[in-house]
Structure 1
């Protein structure tokens, strides 16, 4: 008998084709009420109606029966901090005080390789438990810590985009590098890890406050020398942060201009937060194709402000948007909980976030803004079999609410994003392998 690596997932399959125009846009997605996803060697080879399942059975294949549950592409988180798993749920403080009191002490511990390895295991376990199969990740300043992260991700087969944080001022001495060492360490990481299997290296200056002009110049050089790498940093999260940046860079026209001056603003740039943007900055981000990353739970928790989603996406100068948890300022690893808080922020702004738009953002759209749409984000032949299985009746409250849904897919998705969390994740698959299953 020939043993194959084929696996067939059966359930209700949902995958987005494009950005939904709003509530009721059924042409924006593909939904099979009873379908199969056929996986071989980590990739999707077919998507079909369940009536065709026998045509796909092979000797030794495994059939996972998820009938009644939704099978979607694995969630994509566009901004999260790997060394901050013990910072989440730290009481009080605004951004700059919170960094000094909680974040920097926690990140200093990642100088210890064993601590970093244990942290990577917990971090990746927690993502899988919440249905997140890909994330754009900030490391600590320590090269060895991000190496430990990539090694653990490689063992699991996950697609992760991560960088060693560059900080040469504004932090405790044990947590700083130099412009030269930040450049050297990131270059070494690119050579060792970028596109080694499913790993990607990201150029990662933390933000203007913790980098000297020399370091931002080095980061710009890294971006030019490695145009295939993403650039990630923070911008305009907090008004005190913006004022301090202006003090440190008085010669620049504004916060965005600091990064733009050093060649860090382009179509592969992810700018975390972007709450307090000026009109000229929005216009420049639109022109450059840069991404504003919406981090709703951290913006609320740290009291930073309300992200203007529609003002950016639908304004005269449209800006691309990603959605992210921002753990540990963010208060949940779950993209479902993150979408729920995004909905509430947009309500306060007089804006609407439909369930279709939220699930598209967590899957297809987030994959697109990080440049991985040809690999993940949709359930299509040829793409990686990174998948999440959701149970809309996972808790008594959800099951009770679902009794009134009466088969409406959009209502069900709204229940999932409003009441759902890690308990609604029935299974997660990475490259066709079940991980974090309940």
Structure 2
């Protein structure tokens, strides 16, 4: 695994500039923005600045306050479709600190960062964006740590109660600047889904205390967040990210794909992470958007048919005819669990999948019924398991049962078996002679 070392402080502004694709007449654009005419947001900005990272001598100085005010006001004025939410000051702080003598660059970096990681978070009505984001985060907790997910859901300690300041400020409201710099060294290498993995990594550092406590104790724990080992957080975030199928974090309200001409060209050459699924070209095998209520009803994330084909290294008309040789360090091993009845399974199924019919898979207590197929499933515990079926309700319920049984890395095939049928990739067993 590639190790990401912290950037020297004097190089960080250059890295931000490169990773965020900042170019053009930055100073001229900044100078053209009216930062003097009074606007309704001025009062809130004046209230927030004296409370934002004021342990730092630079940001707490009169000059720091003046620069803070200008950069924040420039962003508000130049984004009339968005509004100032409390927390924007915290988000601005790292950019201002690293570009203290270049306000224009601080403004440009902040303006490029927000649509990549916080697209439409600052709408006047951002409830649909936030709720979708928190729902996907809940699914990521279940995917990576089902035992913790089960406990938090049972006590009603949902992400709405603690994670909004995390994501709305990309953790700048949670950690001091020196930890933010370390965290963002890796964040800027990743894509828009990487913050989910940071959030899960934070929870896992608090895992023992969360599992041992009820709702009230968890509220108190997060009201004054304990010390977080940021190096461990970064290391574990990378590992979580690499175990997460790209399409599992798909969001309907994320930033739309950019044109090729808008790409800054740094992802393939500089990033240690895979490309952002949100940026990939859409196809018939991509994930479909669903209603927020339907998304909330599912404990486990969905993955796309194209993701499944890639992870299983299946070949077909739209893929290479030469199978890719698997190596120990390539993709995580994956098991496809087909929950249709045996007759449908035998008419055609994904190569390598096992058949565990939903109707007879679990006891009345919710435990797996013991049989050769479920023994295979149990042997794959800890690896990625994809549930495939005909009915969305059944696949979601099957996945939820596995999560209850503390199976990690469980996901659902978006669109079910019908998404795979047109590809010609289903296998039909040879007749017995």
TM-score normalised over the length of structure 2: 0.27
- Normalising by structure 1, we get a TM-score of 0.27
Higher helix content, 1 or 2: 2
